[in-house]
Chains A and B, each alone.
Chain A
Amino acid sequence: MGKEAVIKVDSLVKKYGDLAAVNGVSFTVNRGEVFSFVGPNGAGKTTMVEILVCLRGLTAGNATVLGFNVSDRKGQQQIRKRVGVLPQDFNTFDLLTVKENLSYYKKMYDGGMDVNELIRLVDLEDKAKTLYKNLSGGLKKRLAIAIALVNDPEVVFLDEPTTGLDPKARRDVWDLIEGLRDQQKTIFLTTHYMDEAEVLSDRVVIISYGKIIAEGTPSELILKHGGKTTLIVEEGGTEAYEVLRERFPKARVDNGDVLVPINDKSDLPDAVMTLNSNKTKFAELVVRRPSLEDVFLNLTGKKIVGGELD
């Protein structure tokens, strides 16, 4: 896939009074990729999206979407025609059906996708005539994504699309998003779920307090900042910790589990043998490869729990 930049952001700053919500951010998004903006609540993700879809003005720097400048009136008109947006916490008309809701938003555009096809795309066919208020949370999100696609956009902005969904519904939405990639659409995703960013994205930007702290593909980031594989001695407790700490001084206890960083080829067999010879009690042994969560932890010293920094 040839690289064509569909979104270019250069030294973008957005201030509210003295508070900088976005503080000098630069990045590029290429056509056809799934690009994620990950970070805790308040990091500036939604502000970034709003600026790119021309809902808000920027304070300094500049940004273009599909070659059009977000600060330029005419540019804005062009952008609006060509992008699809799923805002955070979006709900649509309670008293309209799935199909009626889609038709409503379609009217705002010239052309766009066929409504029935769209319904099929998001797998809501048997709910086409159901009122929005009678849909489950997961199905509501599916409709919301469909609404964002109603004008067959080149770029789709999804602002925290799985927040508040149960695990099954989240998986559903992930599948949908994967499906969109097949349609050569460019997807700009914001989320505070590290696993989501890791699973879905071609490229990731980690943002905290309005600044980018890392950028790259998930594998690149994990390789650079993820740290090592970890051996988890589940429910090993202080007993396992005492047994292991001499050989593994960097081991630590976390919530009853003992986490042992594995650096060498010999580390893993050594650890297992140590536990075995001491007949240490534990629930299970799990070998965990590093993830984006580890990347974030290593870069900031914090975890994101429920969207907030911990």
Chain B
Amino acid sequence: MGGALRIWFRSKHTLFWTFAFPILLMLLFGAIFSVSEDPRFDFYVQNQDLINGEPSPASAAFVAMLNETGVLKLKMVDPAANTAEYIDKEGVEMMLLIPEGFHQSCFTQNASIVLKTVPPEVDTSAATVRGVVEQIVEVFNTIATGQNPPQVVTLQQESLVSENYRFIDYFVPGLIGMTLMTTGIFGAIGWNTRNRELGILKKLATTPLSKLEWIIGVVLFELVMCAVSTAVILTVGVLVFDLRVLPSIYSIILIIAGAITFPGIGMVIARFVKETDSADAAANAVTFPMMFLSGSFFPLEMMPEFLREIAKVLPLTYLNNGLRDSMVYGNASSALYNTVIVLVVGIVFIIIGSIITNWREE
């Protein structure tokens, strides 16, 4: 282990891929997709309920309440504008229309507002905004019927945000999953191909070292590597992005399971593709698609049906989901389900990998 760690430490390439690459990815994706800490959604409102050119008290009150939530950045649309044309021209996806006569109808208790949306609603933000508006409507109703002067109500921020996860919460577990995969596969391949070429494996085969001991050594080393990478990613996530992580026993088991699975896959590849360069190419061919198709970076819901089917057979999918469940959502049963799958797959792969690895010719 000591020797292996020294080699790792002195290999500039490996250091880069273990530390710098995940951090870079995280900063990059985090920047691209980040919604600021207090998410503020642009929200178009057209208030057509005017009295003498000014918004009616009821509509004004409603708009004020929308504003007070602090979640919506209101963009008021000219009351005279043609709604449909405006949506088209400005490329707006959602707009709230407060119709003429809103104020009056509030008192007769049959007021309505219209939330115009442009399908399909791909954004999770659309659901959030809708949720906010619905809440406002409820509150408004309560106040209106009580016939008290409308009170400004501040919506509970937490209840909104906990139902809606930020991209970084989705991304970091996926990044950890991806890193576990690349570390495990490339690490195991490196130890088995480059060292074979160098004659190291042959030399080791002349010592009392058994194949099992060698494999355990590789897996343990990759486990340490995985732990280090995970720690790095989590640290940056917490410090830079205020990631909220829930420590869980499943997380640890998942990382261990990942550290078993991917070296196993790596060994299978190394058994068939013996030269270092081709083995690396083969590993890339496996890891890159798996990275994207297993939902490490983008929610699977965003992908077409047949890609989602592929995702179901990728071990990384379950690892990612399990990590998300155990680290961010706190969903224990789902975490357990995913953990078990990854563990079983891992054991299968490591057993296959061990059996087919050539140690000595009998």
Contacts and interface: CB of A to CB of B under 8 A. Distances in A.
Interface string B1-28: 0010011001100000000000000000
A108 B204 contact: yes
Nearest to B204: A108
Given A105-B203, A105-B207, A108-B204, A54 B360 contact: yes
A8 interface: no
Interface string A41-56: 0000000000001111
A38 interface: no
Interface stretch (B76-84, B194-202, B278-286, B314-322): B194-202
B199 A57 contact: no
Nearest to B8: A95
Contact of B202 (A55, A80, A96, A101): A55
A87 B203 CA distance: 7
A100 B205 CA distance: 19
A7 interface: no
Contacts of A96: 3, 6-7
Contact of A85 (B200, B206, B209, B361): B206
B208 interface: yes
Contacts of A87: 199, 202-203, 206
B163 interface: no
B203 A100 contact: no
Q: 5 tightest A-B contacts by CB?
A: A108-B207, A85-B206, A90-B199, A104-B3, A95-B10
A91 B199 CA distance: 6
A77 B208 contact: yes
Given A57-B361, A95-B6, A108 B209 contact: yes
A263 interface: no
Contacts of B362: 57
A103 interface: yes
- Contact residues of A: prevailing secondary structure: loop
Interface of B: 3, 6-7, 10-11, 198-200, 202-209, 360-362
Contacts of B11: 95
Contact of A92 (B10, B198, B205, B360): B198
Contacts of A53: 206
A96 B204 CA distance: 16
A109 B203 contact: no
Contacts of A108: 204, 207-209
A81 interface: yes
Given A55-B361, A95-B10, A103 B3 contact: yes
A56 B200 contact: no
A27 interface: no
Interface in A64-83: 77, 80-81, 83
Contacts of A80: 206-208
A80 B202 CA distance: 13
Contacts of B6: 95-96, 100
A92 B206 contact: no
A89 B203 CA distance: 11
B204 A91 contact: no
Residue among A88, A90, A95, A101 with the most chain B CB within 10 A? A95
Contacts of B202: 55, 87, 90
Interface in A175-189: none
Nearest to A77: B208
A132 to B, nearest CB: 10
A92 B3 contact: no
B3 A55 contact: no
Interface string A119-142: 000000000000100000000000
A45 B180 CA distance: 44
Nearest to B210: A77
B336 to A, nearest CB: 39
Contacts of A151: 207
Nearest to A82: B208
A56 B206 CA distance: 10
B203 A90 contact: yes
Contacts of A89: 199
A77 B209 CA distance: 9
Nearest to A92: B200
